[in-house]
Structure 1
Amino acid sequence: MASIAFLGLGVMGYPMAAHLKNRGGHDVTVYNRTTAKAQKWVAEHGGAFAPTPAAAAEGKDFVFACVGNDDDLRQVTLGADGAFDTMKKGAIFVDNTTASAEIARVLDAEARARGFAALDAPVSGGQAGAENGQLTVMVGGDPAVFETAKPMISSYAKMVGLMGPAGAGQLTKMINQICIAGLVQGLAEGIHFGRKAGLDIEKVVDVISKGAAGSWQMENRHKTMNAGKYDFGFAVDWMRKDLGIVLDEADRNGAKLPVTALVDQFYKDVQQMGGRRWDTSSLLARLER
Protein backbone atom coordinates (compact mmCIF):
# COMPACT_ATOMS: atom_id res chain seq x y z
CA MET A 1 0.00 0.00 0.00
CA ALA A 2 1.34 3.42 -1.00
CA SER A 3 0.49 6.82 0.44
CA ILE A 4 -1.00 8.94 -2.34
CA ALA A 5 -2.29 12.48 -2.82
CA PHE A 6 -4.72 13.21 -5.65
CA LEU A 7 -5.16 16.82 -6.75
CA GLY A 8 -8.29 17.65 -8.74
CA LEU A 9 -11.66 15.91 -8.49
CA GLY A 10 -13.35 16.79 -11.77
CA VAL A 11 -15.30 14.35 -13.92
CA MET A 12 -12.07 12.43 -14.57
CA GLY A 13 -10.15 12.85 -11.33
CA TYR A 14 -13.03 11.93 -9.02
CA PRO A 15 -13.34 8.30 -10.23
CA MET A 16 -9.60 7.93 -10.87
CA ALA A 17 -8.84 8.78 -7.24
CA ALA A 18 -11.55 6.31 -6.20
CA HIS A 19 -9.90 3.52 -8.18
CA LEU A 20 -6.57 4.22 -6.48
CA LYS A 21 -8.32 3.90 -3.11
CA ASN A 22 -10.71 1.03 -3.76
CA ARG A 23 -9.16 -1.05 -6.53
CA GLY A 24 -5.53 -0.27 -5.72
CA GLY A 25 -5.99 -0.39 -1.95
CA HIS A 26 -3.86 2.69 -1.36
CA ASP A 27 -4.04 5.37 1.32
CA VAL A 28 -5.42 8.37 -0.58
CA THR A 29 -5.68 12.02 0.46
CA VAL A 30 -7.54 14.28 -1.95
CA TYR A 31 -7.50 18.00 -2.68
CA ASN A 32 -10.01 19.99 -4.71
CA ARG A 33 -10.50 23.73 -5.08
CA THR A 34 -14.09 23.21 -3.94
CA THR A 35 -13.67 21.68 -0.49
CA ALA A 36 -17.24 20.35 -0.45
CA LYS A 37 -16.41 18.06 -3.35
CA ALA A 38 -13.35 16.70 -1.53
CA GLN A 39 -15.50 16.10 1.56
CA LYS A 40 -18.08 14.30 -0.58
CA TRP A 41 -15.35 12.06 -2.04
CA VAL A 42 -14.09 11.15 1.44
CA ALA A 43 -17.64 10.41 2.61
CA GLU A 44 -18.04 7.99 -0.29
CA HIS A 45 -14.60 6.37 -0.38
CA GLY A 46 -12.80 6.99 2.89
CA GLY A 47 -9.28 8.38 3.01
CA ALA A 48 -8.81 12.04 3.84
CA PHE A 49 -8.92 15.49 2.30
CA ALA A 50 -6.54 18.40 2.64
CA PRO A 51 -7.14 22.16 2.36
CA THR A 52 -4.19 22.85 0.03
CA PRO A 53 -2.10 20.91 -2.51
CA ALA A 54 0.92 21.33 -0.24
CA ALA A 55 -0.89 19.78 2.72
CA ALA A 56 -2.16 16.91 0.58
CA ALA A 57 1.29 16.14 -0.88
CA GLU A 58 3.33 16.32 2.30
CA GLY A 59 5.08 13.03 3.02
CA LYS A 60 3.31 11.10 0.25
CA ASP A 61 4.97 8.48 -1.94
CA PHE A 62 2.99 9.56 -5.02
CA VAL A 63 1.17 12.75 -5.92
CA PHE A 64 -1.33 12.59 -8.81
CA ALA A 65 -2.92 15.58 -10.50
CA CYS A 66 -5.79 15.90 -12.97
CA VAL A 67 -6.71 19.55 -13.42
CA GLY A 68 -7.88 21.79 -16.25
CA ASN A 69 -4.91 23.28 -18.09
CA ASP A 70 -1.32 24.54 -17.85
CA ASP A 71 -2.25 27.43 -15.57
CA ASP A 72 -4.15 25.18 -13.16
CA LEU A 73 -1.25 22.76 -13.16
CA ARG A 74 1.28 25.47 -12.36
CA GLN A 75 -0.93 26.65 -9.52
CA VAL A 76 -1.29 23.28 -7.79
CA THR A 77 2.41 22.44 -8.19
CA LEU A 78 4.48 25.62 -8.14
CA GLY A 79 2.03 28.23 -6.87
CA ALA A 80 1.37 29.34 -3.31
CA ASP A 81 0.79 26.24 -1.16
CA GLY A 82 1.74 24.13 -4.19
CA ALA A 83 2.48 20.43 -3.93
CA PHE A 84 6.12 20.77 -5.01
CA ASP A 85 6.89 22.73 -1.83
CA THR A 86 6.22 19.72 0.40
CA MET A 87 6.87 16.61 -1.71
CA LYS A 88 9.50 14.43 -0.12
CA LYS A 89 12.71 13.37 -1.82
CA GLY A 90 12.24 10.19 -3.83
CA ALA A 91 8.51 10.74 -4.32
CA ILE A 92 6.87 10.63 -7.77
CA PHE A 93 4.53 13.20 -9.29
CA VAL A 94 2.13 11.81 -11.91
CA ASP A 95 0.27 14.38 -13.99
CA ASN A 96 -2.88 13.11 -15.72
CA THR A 97 -3.84 16.56 -17.01
CA THR A 98 -3.97 17.09 -20.77
CA ALA A 99 -1.53 19.97 -20.99
CA SER A 100 1.39 21.20 -23.08
CA ALA A 101 4.66 19.34 -23.54
CA GLU A 102 6.37 22.52 -22.39
CA ILE A 103 4.83 22.45 -18.90
CA ALA A 104 5.64 18.75 -18.64
CA ARG A 105 9.32 19.50 -19.23
CA VAL A 106 9.25 22.40 -16.77
CA LEU A 107 7.78 20.21 -14.03
CA ASP A 108 10.23 17.41 -14.80
CA ALA A 109 13.16 19.80 -14.36
CA GLU A 110 11.68 21.29 -11.19
CA ALA A 111 11.08 17.87 -9.70
CA ARG A 112 14.64 16.75 -10.42
CA ALA A 113 16.03 19.91 -8.85
CA ARG A 114 14.01 19.22 -5.69
CA GLY A 115 14.98 15.56 -5.39
CA PHE A 116 11.88 13.79 -6.65
CA ALA A 117 10.56 12.67 -10.06
CA ALA A 118 7.74 13.64 -12.41
CA LEU A 119 5.82 11.85 -15.16
CA ASP A 120 3.45 13.44 -17.67
CA ALA A 121 0.64 10.92 -18.08
CA PRO A 122 -2.40 12.27 -19.96
CA VAL A 123 -5.31 9.89 -20.43
CA SER A 124 -7.79 8.91 -23.13
CA GLY A 125 -11.14 7.21 -22.68
CA GLY A 126 -13.37 9.98 -21.41
CA GLN A 127 -15.61 10.02 -18.37
CA ALA A 128 -16.84 6.46 -18.97
CA GLY A 129 -13.26 5.20 -19.17
CA ALA A 130 -12.40 6.94 -15.91
CA GLU A 131 -15.47 5.60 -14.12
CA ASN A 132 -14.85 2.04 -15.34
CA GLY A 133 -11.09 2.12 -14.76
CA GLN A 134 -10.48 1.55 -18.47
CA LEU A 135 -8.37 4.55 -19.48
CA THR A 136 -5.42 4.54 -21.85
CA VAL A 137 -2.46 6.39 -20.30
CA MET A 138 0.40 7.84 -22.36
CA VAL A 139 3.46 8.51 -20.23
CA GLY A 140 6.58 10.61 -20.63
CA GLY A 141 9.52 10.37 -18.24
CA ASP A 142 12.35 8.24 -16.91
CA PRO A 143 11.91 4.47 -17.54
CA ALA A 144 12.79 3.45 -13.98
CA VAL A 145 10.35 5.99 -12.53
CA PHE A 146 7.70 4.77 -14.96
CA GLU A 147 8.11 1.16 -13.82
CA THR A 148 7.70 2.22 -10.19
CA ALA A 149 4.56 4.22 -10.91
CA LYS A 150 2.97 1.85 -13.43
CA PRO A 151 1.20 -0.38 -10.85
CA MET A 152 -0.44 2.70 -9.33
CA ILE A 153 -1.53 4.09 -12.70
CA SER A 154 -2.90 0.67 -13.64
CA SER A 155 -5.52 1.05 -10.92
CA TYR A 156 -7.57 3.16 -13.33
CA ALA A 157 -6.21 2.06 -16.71
CA LYS A 158 -6.46 -0.76 -19.23
CA MET A 159 -3.32 0.38 -21.09
CA VAL A 160 -0.28 2.20 -19.74
CA GLY A 161 2.59 2.93 -22.12
CA LEU A 162 5.91 4.78 -21.81
CA MET A 163 6.24 6.96 -24.91
CA GLY A 164 9.61 8.60 -24.30
CA PRO A 165 11.22 11.30 -22.13
CA ALA A 166 9.43 14.15 -20.39
CA GLY A 167 6.79 15.67 -22.65
CA ALA A 168 6.35 12.55 -24.80
CA GLY A 169 3.13 11.59 -23.03
CA GLN A 170 1.60 14.97 -23.83
CA LEU A 171 2.80 14.82 -27.44
CA THR A 172 1.20 11.38 -27.83
CA LYS A 173 -2.07 12.71 -26.42
CA MET A 174 -1.93 15.46 -29.03
CA ILE A 175 -1.73 12.83 -31.77
CA ASN A 176 -4.70 11.08 -30.16
CA GLN A 177 -6.76 14.28 -30.41
CA ILE A 178 -5.63 14.95 -33.99
CA CYS A 179 -6.90 11.51 -35.01
CA ILE A 180 -10.19 11.82 -33.13
CA ALA A 181 -10.94 15.23 -34.65
CA GLY A 182 -10.60 13.88 -38.18
CA LEU A 183 -12.52 10.69 -37.44
CA VAL A 184 -15.49 12.45 -35.89
CA GLN A 185 -15.72 14.97 -38.73
CA GLY A 186 -15.61 12.12 -41.26
CA LEU A 187 -18.32 10.21 -39.40
CA ALA A 188 -20.49 13.35 -39.17
CA GLU A 189 -20.16 13.94 -42.90
CA GLY A 190 -20.92 10.29 -43.64
CA ILE A 191 -24.12 10.30 -41.59
CA HIS A 192 -25.14 13.66 -43.05
CA PHE A 193 -24.54 12.40 -46.60
CA GLY A 194 -26.45 9.16 -45.91
CA ARG A 195 -29.46 11.04 -44.61
CA LYS A 196 -29.50 13.32 -47.66
CA ALA A 197 -29.30 10.23 -49.87
CA GLY A 198 -32.30 8.68 -48.08
CA LEU A 199 -30.40 5.70 -46.67
CA ASP A 200 -31.04 3.83 -43.40
CA ILE A 201 -28.05 4.93 -41.30
CA GLU A 202 -28.26 1.93 -39.00
CA LYS A 203 -28.05 -0.46 -41.94
CA VAL A 204 -25.21 1.52 -43.49
CA VAL A 205 -23.13 1.54 -40.32
CA ASP A 206 -23.84 -2.12 -39.64
CA VAL A 207 -22.10 -2.91 -42.93
CA ILE A 208 -19.30 -0.34 -43.22
CA SER A 209 -18.26 -0.64 -39.56
CA LYS A 210 -17.06 -4.17 -40.36
CA GLY A 211 -14.71 -2.88 -43.06
CA ALA A 212 -11.88 -0.39 -43.40
CA ALA A 213 -14.09 2.56 -42.37
CA GLY A 214 -14.76 1.10 -38.93
CA SER A 215 -13.62 2.97 -35.80
CA TRP A 216 -14.38 3.35 -32.10
CA GLN A 217 -16.22 6.56 -32.89
CA MET A 218 -18.42 4.81 -35.44
CA GLU A 219 -19.25 1.91 -33.13
CA ASN A 220 -19.92 4.04 -30.05
CA ARG A 221 -21.29 7.34 -31.34
CA HIS A 222 -23.27 6.74 -34.54
CA LYS A 223 -26.53 5.85 -32.76
CA THR A 224 -26.55 8.95 -30.56
CA MET A 225 -25.47 11.16 -33.45
CA ASN A 226 -28.23 9.78 -35.63
CA ALA A 227 -30.69 10.50 -32.81
CA GLY A 228 -29.42 14.08 -32.43
CA LYS A 229 -28.23 13.50 -28.86
CA TYR A 230 -24.93 15.03 -27.84
CA ASP A 231 -24.53 14.53 -24.10
CA PHE A 232 -22.42 11.38 -24.16
CA GLY A 233 -18.85 12.24 -23.30
CA PHE A 234 -16.01 14.65 -23.97
CA ALA A 235 -17.27 18.24 -24.22
CA VAL A 236 -16.62 20.58 -27.14
CA ASP A 237 -15.03 23.15 -24.81
CA TRP A 238 -12.51 20.55 -23.67
CA MET A 239 -11.76 19.45 -27.22
CA ARG A 240 -11.09 23.03 -28.31
CA LYS A 241 -8.71 23.42 -25.37
CA ASP A 242 -6.86 20.28 -26.46
CA LEU A 243 -6.78 21.27 -30.14
CA GLY A 244 -5.41 24.66 -29.13
CA ILE A 245 -2.51 22.87 -27.44
CA VAL A 246 -2.01 20.75 -30.57
CA LEU A 247 -1.97 23.73 -32.93
CA ASP A 248 0.41 25.70 -30.68
CA GLU A 249 2.81 22.75 -30.68
CA ALA A 250 2.51 22.44 -34.46
CA ASP A 251 3.51 26.11 -34.78
CA ARG A 252 6.64 25.29 -32.80
CA ASN A 253 7.65 22.06 -34.54
CA GLY A 254 6.55 22.93 -38.07
CA ALA A 255 3.93 20.18 -38.47
CA LYS A 256 1.24 20.84 -41.06
CA LEU A 257 -2.23 20.13 -39.68
CA PRO A 258 -4.78 21.51 -42.14
CA VAL A 259 -7.61 19.13 -41.22
CA THR A 260 -7.09 19.62 -37.48
CA ALA A 261 -7.13 23.41 -37.87
CA LEU A 262 -10.31 23.22 -39.92
CA VAL A 263 -12.12 20.94 -37.47
CA ASP A 264 -11.08 23.24 -34.63
CA GLN A 265 -12.95 26.02 -36.41
CA PHE A 266 -15.94 23.73 -36.90
CA TYR A 267 -15.99 23.18 -33.13
CA LYS A 268 -15.90 26.97 -32.71
CA ASP A 269 -19.07 27.07 -34.81
CA VAL A 270 -20.66 24.47 -32.52
CA GLN A 271 -19.77 26.59 -29.49
CA GLN A 272 -21.47 29.57 -31.12
CA MET A 273 -24.56 27.40 -31.68
CA GLY A 274 -24.76 26.92 -27.91
CA GLY A 275 -23.02 23.55 -27.88
CA ARG A 276 -20.11 24.28 -25.56
CA ARG A 277 -21.02 21.32 -23.33
CA TRP A 278 -22.23 19.02 -26.12
CA ASP A 279 -19.95 16.07 -26.78
CA THR A 280 -17.50 16.06 -29.68
CA SER A 281 -19.83 14.12 -31.98
CA SER A 282 -21.94 17.29 -32.25
CA LEU A 283 -20.07 18.18 -35.43
CA LEU A 284 -23.10 16.60 -37.12
CA ALA A 285 -25.35 19.30 -35.63
CA ARG A 286 -23.26 21.93 -37.38
CA LEU A 287 -23.82 20.24 -40.77
CA GLU A 288 -27.56 20.00 -40.21
CA ARG A 289 -28.35 23.35 -38.63
Structure 2
Amino acid sequence: MSINVAFIGLGAMGYPMAGHLSNAGFNTTVYNRTEATATSWVNEYAKGSLKVTPRLAAIEANVVLLCVGNDDDVRSVVYGEDGVLAGMSAGDILIDHTTTSAELARELFQAANDLGIQFLDAPVSGGQAGAQNGKLTVMLGGNEQTYDAVIPLLNCYSQKHQLMGLSGSGQLTKMVNQICIAGIVQGLSEALHFAGKAGLDPTQVVDVISKGAAQSWQMENRSSTMIKGEFDFGFAVDWMRKDLGIVLDEAKTNGANLPITALVDQFYGQVQANGGRRFDTSSLITLLNK
Protein backbone atom coordinates (compact mmCIF):
# COMPACT_ATOMS: atom_id res chain seq x y z
CA MET A 1 0.00 0.00 0.00
CA SER A 2 3.05 2.33 0.15
CA ILE A 3 3.41 2.18 -3.65
CA ASN A 4 3.42 5.60 -5.28
CA VAL A 5 1.54 5.68 -8.57
CA ALA A 6 1.15 8.25 -11.32
CA PHE A 7 -1.85 8.19 -13.62
CA ILE A 8 -1.53 9.97 -16.98
CA GLY A 9 -4.81 10.71 -18.76
CA LEU A 10 -8.07 11.47 -16.97
CA GLY A 11 -10.66 10.85 -19.64
CA ALA A 12 -13.87 8.88 -19.28
CA MET A 13 -11.86 5.78 -18.35
CA GLY A 14 -8.77 7.14 -16.62
CA TYR A 15 -10.59 9.49 -14.25
CA PRO A 16 -12.44 6.75 -12.33
CA MET A 17 -9.55 4.26 -12.64
CA ALA A 18 -7.21 6.71 -10.94
CA GLY A 19 -9.93 7.34 -8.38
CA HIS A 20 -10.12 3.65 -7.49
CA LEU A 21 -6.37 3.61 -6.90
CA SER A 22 -6.60 6.62 -4.62
CA ASN A 23 -9.56 5.18 -2.73
CA ALA A 24 -7.60 1.96 -2.20
CA GLY A 25 -4.90 3.91 -0.39
CA PHE A 26 -2.25 4.23 -3.08
CA ASN A 27 -0.41 7.55 -3.18
CA THR A 28 -1.72 8.81 -6.52
CA THR A 29 -0.39 11.67 -8.60
CA VAL A 30 -2.18 12.61 -11.83
CA TYR A 31 -1.49 14.47 -15.04
CA ASN A 32 -4.02 15.47 -17.68
CA ARG A 33 -3.59 17.58 -20.78
CA THR A 34 -6.54 19.72 -19.66
CA GLU A 35 -5.40 20.83 -16.23
CA ALA A 36 -8.92 21.76 -15.12
CA THR A 37 -9.87 18.09 -15.27
CA ALA A 38 -6.89 17.16 -13.10
CA THR A 39 -7.88 19.88 -10.64
CA SER A 40 -11.41 18.48 -10.45
CA TRP A 41 -9.98 15.00 -9.83
CA VAL A 42 -7.80 16.26 -6.98
CA ASN A 43 -10.77 18.08 -5.44
CA GLU A 44 -12.78 14.85 -5.58
CA TYR A 45 -9.99 12.59 -4.31
CA ALA A 46 -8.35 14.63 -1.56
CA LYS A 47 -5.51 12.11 -1.14
CA GLY A 48 -4.25 12.75 -4.66
CA SER A 49 -2.13 15.48 -6.21
CA LEU A 50 -1.51 16.81 -9.71
CA LYS A 51 1.57 17.76 -11.71
CA VAL A 52 1.84 19.95 -14.80
CA THR A 53 3.91 17.54 -16.94
CA PRO A 54 4.04 13.74 -17.30
CA ARG A 55 7.71 13.79 -16.24
CA LEU A 56 6.94 15.58 -12.97
CA ALA A 57 4.09 13.17 -12.26
CA ALA A 58 6.40 10.20 -12.78
CA ILE A 59 9.39 11.33 -10.74
CA GLU A 60 8.22 9.98 -7.37
CA ALA A 61 6.14 7.11 -8.75
CA ASN A 62 7.04 3.43 -8.62
CA VAL A 63 4.33 2.65 -11.17
CA VAL A 64 3.16 4.94 -13.97
CA LEU A 65 -0.14 4.20 -15.72
CA LEU A 66 -1.30 5.67 -19.02
CA CYS A 67 -4.81 5.88 -20.45
CA VAL A 68 -4.90 8.33 -23.36
CA GLY A 69 -6.30 8.34 -26.89
CA ASN A 70 -4.14 6.67 -29.53
CA ASP A 71 -0.58 5.76 -30.52
CA ASP A 72 0.48 9.37 -31.08
CA ASP A 73 -1.04 10.47 -27.76
CA VAL A 74 0.92 7.75 -25.97
CA ARG A 75 4.17 8.82 -27.61
CA SER A 76 3.50 12.44 -26.66
CA VAL A 77 3.35 11.62 -22.93
CA VAL A 78 6.09 8.97 -22.90
CA TYR A 79 8.94 10.52 -24.87
CA GLY A 80 10.78 13.83 -24.75
CA GLU A 81 12.11 15.97 -21.93
CA ASP A 82 8.64 16.21 -20.36
CA GLY A 83 7.64 12.58 -20.99
CA VAL A 84 7.24 9.97 -18.28
CA LEU A 85 10.39 8.08 -19.24
CA ALA A 86 12.40 11.22 -18.42
CA GLY A 87 11.03 11.08 -14.87
CA MET A 88 11.17 7.34 -14.24
CA SER A 89 14.02 5.34 -12.72
CA ALA A 90 15.39 1.86 -13.28
CA GLY A 91 13.15 -0.69 -11.58
CA ASP A 92 9.97 1.35 -12.07
CA ILE A 93 7.00 -0.06 -13.98
CA LEU A 94 5.13 1.57 -16.89
CA ILE A 95 1.63 0.30 -17.71
CA ASP A 96 -0.23 1.45 -20.82
CA HIS A 97 -4.00 1.00 -20.60
CA THR A 98 -4.55 2.79 -23.91
CA THR A 99 -5.84 0.71 -26.81
CA THR A 100 -3.01 0.98 -29.33
CA SER A 101 -1.22 -1.01 -32.00
CA ALA A 102 0.80 -4.04 -30.96
CA GLU A 103 3.70 -2.40 -32.78
CA LEU A 104 3.65 0.52 -30.34
CA ALA A 105 3.52 -1.87 -27.38
CA ARG A 106 6.68 -3.59 -28.57
CA GLU A 107 8.32 -0.22 -29.21
CA LEU A 108 7.54 0.97 -25.68
CA PHE A 109 8.78 -2.29 -24.20
CA GLN A 110 12.13 -1.80 -25.89
CA ALA A 111 12.38 1.90 -24.98
CA ALA A 112 11.57 1.16 -21.34
CA ASN A 113 13.83 -1.88 -21.20
CA ASP A 114 16.78 0.18 -22.42
CA LEU A 115 16.34 2.29 -19.27
CA GLY A 116 15.86 -0.63 -16.91
CA ILE A 117 12.12 0.08 -16.68
CA GLN A 118 9.52 -2.69 -16.88
CA PHE A 119 6.60 -2.32 -19.31
CA LEU A 120 3.15 -3.88 -19.64
CA ASP A 121 0.67 -3.23 -22.44
CA ALA A 122 -2.71 -3.50 -20.74
CA PRO A 123 -5.76 -2.40 -22.77
CA VAL A 124 -9.09 -2.63 -21.02
CA SER A 125 -12.66 -3.59 -21.88
CA GLY A 126 -15.88 -2.76 -20.07
CA GLY A 127 -16.51 0.83 -21.08
CA GLN A 128 -17.05 3.87 -18.91
CA ALA A 129 -19.48 2.02 -16.66
CA GLY A 130 -16.92 -0.71 -16.08
CA ALA A 131 -14.31 1.89 -15.15
CA GLN A 132 -16.66 3.69 -12.78
CA ASN A 133 -17.76 0.47 -11.10
CA GLY A 134 -14.27 -1.04 -10.92
CA LYS A 135 -15.36 -3.94 -13.15
CA LEU A 136 -13.03 -3.69 -16.13
CA THR A 137 -11.33 -6.57 -17.90
CA VAL A 138 -7.59 -6.06 -18.45
CA MET A 139 -5.58 -7.95 -21.08
CA LEU A 140 -1.82 -7.71 -20.54
CA GLY A 141 1.36 -8.37 -22.42
CA GLY A 142 4.79 -8.46 -20.82
CA ASN A 143 6.86 -10.15 -18.14
CA GLU A 144 5.14 -12.43 -15.61
CA GLN A 145 7.14 -11.06 -12.68
CA THR A 146 6.13 -7.51 -13.60
CA TYR A 147 2.49 -8.57 -13.93
CA ASP A 148 2.56 -10.23 -10.51
CA ALA A 149 3.95 -7.04 -8.96
CA VAL A 150 1.03 -4.89 -10.14
CA ILE A 151 -1.85 -7.26 -9.38
CA PRO A 152 -2.85 -5.23 -6.27
CA LEU A 153 -3.28 -2.18 -8.51
CA LEU A 154 -5.21 -4.04 -11.21
CA ASN A 155 -7.57 -5.43 -8.58
CA CYS A 156 -8.66 -1.88 -7.73
CA TYR A 157 -10.51 -1.31 -11.01
CA SER A 158 -10.96 -4.67 -12.69
CA GLN A 159 -13.00 -7.81 -12.22
CA LYS A 160 -10.73 -9.85 -14.49
CA HIS A 161 -7.12 -9.44 -15.58
CA GLN A 162 -4.82 -11.90 -17.28
CA LEU A 163 -1.33 -11.97 -18.71
CA MET A 164 -1.67 -13.09 -22.34
CA GLY A 165 1.97 -13.42 -23.36
CA LEU A 166 4.92 -11.24 -24.34
CA SER A 167 4.70 -7.51 -25.10
CA GLY A 168 1.98 -6.78 -27.63
CA SER A 169 -0.15 -9.73 -26.54
CA GLY A 170 -2.47 -7.53 -24.51
CA GLN A 171 -3.14 -5.30 -27.50
CA LEU A 172 -3.66 -8.29 -29.79
CA THR A 173 -6.21 -9.72 -27.34
CA LYS A 174 -8.02 -6.36 -27.29
CA MET A 175 -8.21 -6.56 -31.08
CA VAL A 176 -9.96 -9.92 -30.76
CA ASN A 177 -12.37 -8.26 -28.32
CA GLN A 178 -13.20 -5.48 -30.79
CA ILE A 179 -13.71 -7.93 -33.65
CA CYS A 180 -16.31 -9.73 -31.53
CA ILE A 181 -18.08 -6.53 -30.54
CA ALA A 182 -18.28 -5.25 -34.12
CA GLY A 183 -19.98 -8.41 -35.34
CA ILE A 184 -22.31 -8.70 -32.36
CA VAL A 185 -23.53 -5.09 -32.58
CA GLN A 186 -24.23 -5.42 -36.30
CA GLY A 187 -26.10 -8.67 -35.73
CA LEU A 188 -28.15 -7.17 -32.89
CA SER A 189 -28.95 -4.12 -35.04
CA GLU A 190 -30.23 -6.29 -37.86
CA ALA A 191 -32.22 -8.47 -35.44
CA LEU A 192 -34.01 -5.54 -33.84
CA HIS A 193 -34.65 -3.99 -37.24
CA PHE A 194 -36.09 -7.28 -38.49
CA ALA A 195 -38.30 -7.63 -35.41
CA GLY A 196 -39.82 -4.21 -36.03
CA LYS A 197 -40.42 -4.89 -39.72
CA ALA A 198 -42.05 -8.22 -38.80
CA GLY A 199 -44.58 -6.48 -36.57
CA LEU A 200 -43.14 -7.85 -33.34
CA ASP A 201 -42.60 -5.91 -30.13
CA PRO A 202 -38.77 -5.66 -30.01
CA THR A 203 -38.79 -5.33 -26.23
CA GLN A 204 -40.73 -8.57 -25.84
CA VAL A 205 -38.48 -10.27 -28.38
CA VAL A 206 -35.36 -9.31 -26.43
CA ASP A 207 -36.94 -10.41 -23.16
CA VAL A 208 -37.44 -13.88 -24.61
CA ILE A 209 -34.29 -14.46 -26.65
CA SER A 210 -31.96 -12.92 -24.05
CA LYS A 211 -32.62 -16.00 -21.92
CA GLY A 212 -31.28 -18.30 -24.63
CA ALA A 213 -28.29 -18.77 -26.89
CA ALA A 214 -28.57 -15.30 -28.47
CA GLN A 215 -27.81 -13.55 -25.17
CA SER A 216 -24.87 -11.12 -25.11
CA TRP A 217 -23.56 -8.15 -23.14
CA GLN A 218 -24.64 -5.89 -25.96
CA MET A 219 -28.16 -7.29 -25.89
CA GLU A 220 -28.43 -6.91 -22.13
CA ASN A 221 -26.97 -3.41 -21.98
CA ARG A 222 -27.77 -1.76 -25.31
CA SER A 223 -30.93 -3.27 -26.84
CA SER A 224 -33.34 -1.08 -24.86
CA THR A 225 -31.60 2.15 -25.86
CA MET A 226 -31.28 0.96 -29.46
CA ILE A 227 -35.04 0.40 -29.54
CA LYS A 228 -35.56 3.93 -28.17
CA GLY A 229 -33.06 5.46 -30.60
CA GLU A 230 -30.81 6.77 -27.82
CA PHE A 231 -27.09 6.87 -28.61
CA ASP A 232 -25.57 9.89 -26.84
CA PHE A 233 -23.50 7.87 -24.34
CA GLY A 234 -21.08 4.97 -24.10
CA PHE A 235 -18.13 4.08 -26.35
CA ALA A 236 -18.01 6.55 -29.24
CA VAL A 237 -18.05 5.55 -32.90
CA ASP A 238 -14.87 7.61 -33.45
CA TRP A 239 -13.02 5.43 -30.94
CA MET A 240 -14.42 2.21 -32.38
CA ARG A 241 -13.23 3.19 -35.84
CA LYS A 242 -9.80 3.93 -34.40
CA ASP A 243 -9.74 0.47 -32.82
CA LEU A 244 -11.00 -1.29 -35.95
CA GLY A 245 -8.38 0.52 -38.00
CA ILE A 246 -5.73 -0.97 -35.72
CA VAL A 247 -7.34 -4.40 -36.11
CA LEU A 248 -7.46 -4.23 -39.90
CA ASP A 249 -3.86 -2.99 -40.12
CA GLU A 250 -2.72 -5.89 -37.94
CA ALA A 251 -4.72 -8.33 -40.09
CA LYS A 252 -2.79 -7.16 -43.16
CA THR A 253 0.40 -8.06 -41.32
CA ASN A 254 -0.60 -11.46 -39.94
CA GLY A 255 -2.73 -12.57 -42.89
CA ALA A 256 -6.05 -12.84 -41.01
CA ASN A 257 -9.22 -12.64 -43.13
CA LEU A 258 -11.77 -10.30 -41.52
CA PRO A 259 -14.54 -9.65 -44.07
CA ILE A 260 -17.27 -8.92 -41.52
CA THR A 261 -15.04 -6.62 -39.46
CA ALA A 262 -14.05 -4.69 -42.60
CA LEU A 263 -17.70 -4.33 -43.59
CA VAL A 264 -18.81 -3.15 -40.16
CA ASP A 265 -15.95 -0.64 -40.16
CA GLN A 266 -17.43 0.80 -43.37
CA PHE A 267 -20.85 0.97 -41.70
CA TYR A 268 -19.35 2.94 -38.82
CA GLY A 269 -17.86 5.26 -41.42
CA GLN A 270 -21.39 5.92 -42.68
CA VAL A 271 -22.55 6.68 -39.12
CA GLN A 272 -19.71 9.19 -38.83
CA ALA A 273 -20.67 10.79 -42.13
CA ASN A 274 -24.25 11.11 -40.86
CA GLY A 275 -23.05 13.12 -37.84
CA GLY A 276 -22.78 10.27 -35.34
CA ARG A 277 -19.08 10.51 -34.53
CA ARG A 278 -19.75 10.70 -30.78
CA PHE A 279 -22.72 8.31 -30.79
CA ASP A 280 -22.43 5.04 -28.90
CA THR A 281 -21.32 2.11 -31.06
CA SER A 282 -24.84 0.66 -30.92
CA SER A 283 -25.84 3.44 -33.36
CA LEU A 284 -25.21 1.02 -36.24
CA ILE A 285 -28.96 0.43 -36.15
CA THR A 286 -29.55 3.99 -37.43
CA LEU A 287 -28.37 2.87 -40.87
CA LEU A 288 -31.20 0.33 -41.01
CA ASN A 289 -34.09 2.25 -39.45
CA LYS A 290 -34.68 4.74 -42.23
Amino acid at match of 2:272: Q
8 Å CA contact 1:60, 1:88 repeated in 2:
no
2:122 aligned residue? 121
Residues 25-64 of structure 1: pairs in structure 2 closer than 5 A: 25-46=25-46, 47-64=48-65
Amino acid at match of 1:42: V
Task: Report how many residues are paired.
Answer: 288
**Alpha-carbon distance in 1 for matches of 2:185, 2:257:** 19
**Alpha-carbon distance in 1 for matches of 2:167, 2:283:** 34
**Alpha-carbon distance in 2 for matches of 1:221, 1:86:** 42
1:134 aligned residue? 135
**Alpha-carbon distance in 2 for matches of 1:163, 1:242:** 19
8 Å CA contact 1:99, 1:170 repeated in 2:
yes
2:17 matched to 1:16? yes
Deviation per CA, 1:161-198, whole angstroms, max 9, x where unpaired? Answer: 11111000000000000000000000000000110010
**Alpha-carbon distance in 2 for matches of 1:214, 1:101:** 31
1:181 aligned residue? 182
Counting aligned pairs with the same residue, the percent is 61
**Alpha-carbon distance in 2 for matches of 1:196, 1:270:** 21
1:232 positional shift: 3.3
8 Å CA contact 1:59, 1:88 repeated in 2:
no
Deviation per CA, 1:35-78, whole angstroms, max 9, x where unpaired? Answer: 11111111110211001000000131100000000001011011
Amino acid at match of 2:35: T
- Deviation larger for 181-190 or 210-219: 210-219
SS of equivalent residue, structure 2 residue 146: helix
1:111 positional shift: 1.0
1:266 aligned residue? 267
Residues 142-157 of structure 1: pairs in structure 2 closer than 5 A: 142-157=143-158
8 Å CA contact 1:92, 1:145 repeated in 2:
yes
1:68 aligned residue? 69
1:146 positional shift: 0.3
2:206 matched to 1:209? no
Gaps of 5+ in 1: none
SS of equivalent residue, structure 1 residue 114: coil
**Alpha-carbon distance in 1 for matches of 2:117, 2:242:** 29
SS of equivalent residue, structure 1 residue 14: helix
1:221 positional shift: 0.8
- TM-score, normalising length from structure 2? 0.98
* Runs of 4+, deviation exceeding 3 Å: none
1:206 positional shift: 1.4
SS of equivalent residue, structure 2 residue 78: helix
Amino acid at match of 1:121: A
- TM-score, normalising length from structure 1? 0.98
SS of equivalent residue, structure 1 residue 29: strand
SS of equivalent residue, structure 2 residue 277: coil
Residues 83-102 of structure 1: pairs in structure 2 closer than 5 A: 83-102=84-103
2:80 aligned residue? 79
8 Å CA contact 1:93, 1:119 repeated in 2:
yes
**Alpha-carbon distance in 1 for matches of 2:219, 2:226:** 10
1:219 positional shift: 1.1
SS of equivalent residue, structure 1 residue 30: strand
